[in-house]
Amino acid sequence: MKRDLISIRDFTREEIEALFSLATDLKRRLKRGKSHPRLSGKTLALIFEKPSLRTRVSFEVAMTHLGGHAIYLAPQDIRLGARETVEDGARNLSRWVDGIVARTFEHAQVERLAQYTTVPVINGLTDLLHPCQVLCDLFTLHEKREKLKGLRVAFIGDGNNVCNSWLYGAAKMGIHFTVACPKGYEPHRDVFTKARAESEATYAVLEITHDAARAAREADVLYTDVWASMGHEEQRAKRMRDFKGFQVNQSLVNLAQKDVQVMHCLPAHRGEEITDEVMDGLHSIILDQAENRLHLQKAILVKLLGDES
Q: What is the DSSP code string of 54-109?
A: HHHHHHHHHHHHTT-EEEEE-HHHH-BTTTB-HHHHHHHHHHH-SEEEEE-SSHHH
Quick check: is 130 catalytic? Answer: yes
Of these residues, 109, 265, 283, 297, which one is catalytic? 265
pLDDT per residue over 107-140, tens digit each?
999 999 999 999 999 999 999 999 999 999 999 9
**Are residues 244 and 275 both part of a single domain?**
yes
- Residues 67 and 148 occupy one common structural domain: no
133 is catalytic: yes
Helix 161-173 and helix 189-202, axial crossing angle in degrees, nearest 10: 20
Co-location of 151 and 252 in the same domain = yes
Residue 234 lies in a domain: yes
Q: Is residue 1 included in any domain, yes or no?
A: no
Strand ranges of the sheet holding 205-209, from the earlier edge strand across to the other edge: 205-209, 176-180, 152-156, 221-224, 261-264
Q: Which of 4, 127, 220, 225 is catalytic?
A: 225
Regarding whether 120 and 14 lie in a shared domain, the answer is yes
pLDDT of 80 reads 73
Instruction: Identify whether 3 is part of a domain.
Output: no
Asked about 69 being catalytic, the answer comes back as no
What phi and psi values does residue 280 have, to the nearest 5 degrees? -100, 5
The confidence score (pLDDT) of residue 308 equals 58
Range of the domain at 66: 8-130+290-305
pTM above 0.85? yes
242, 183: one domain: yes
Beta carbons of 223 and 155 less than 8 angstroms apart: yes
Q: Give the distance from CA 7 to its chain's centroid.
A: 10
Judge if 198 and 222 occupy the same domain: yes
Q: Clarify whether residues 86 and 137 are in a common domain.
A: no
198 and 85 within one domain: no
Annotation marks residue 115 as catalytic? no
> Could you tell me if residue 26 is inside a domain?
yes
Please check whether residues 100 and 190 belong to one and the same domain.
no
| Catalytic option among 56, 107, 130, 264 | 130
The per-residue pLDDT for 97 is 98
Question: What CATH number should be reported for the domain holding residue 178?
Answer: 3.40.50.1370
Residue among 226, 221, 222, 239 at smallest CA distance from 267 = 226
Helices 131-145 and 161-173: crossing angle in degrees, nearest 10, is 50
Q: What's residue 231's pLDDT?
A: 67
pLDDT value at position 141? Answer: 98
Can you tell me the distance from the alpha carbon of 242 to that of 232, in angstroms, rounded to the nearest whole number? 14
Please check whether residue 58 lies inside any domain of the structure: yes
On whether residue 33 sits in a domain, the answer given is yes
Q: Which is catalytic among the residues 98, 112, 133, 181?
A: 133
Q: What is the pLDDT of residue 307?
A: 78
- Tell whether 2 is covered by a domain: no
Q: Is there a single domain that holds both residue 85 and residue 146?
A: no
| The one catalytic residue among 38, 54, 56, 103 | 103
Could you tell me if 68 and 169 lie in one domain? no
Q: Is residue 237, in this structure, part of any structural domain at all?
A: yes
| 103 in catalytic set | yes
pLDDT at 51: 86
Q: Based on the structure, what is the number of domains in the chain?
A: 2
- Residue 138: its pLDDT value, please? 98
Low-confidence ranges of the chain (pLDDT < 50): 309
Helix (H, G, I), strand (E, B) or coil at 226: coil
Both 206 and 65 in one domain: the answer is: no
Distance CA 143, CA 96 (A): 37
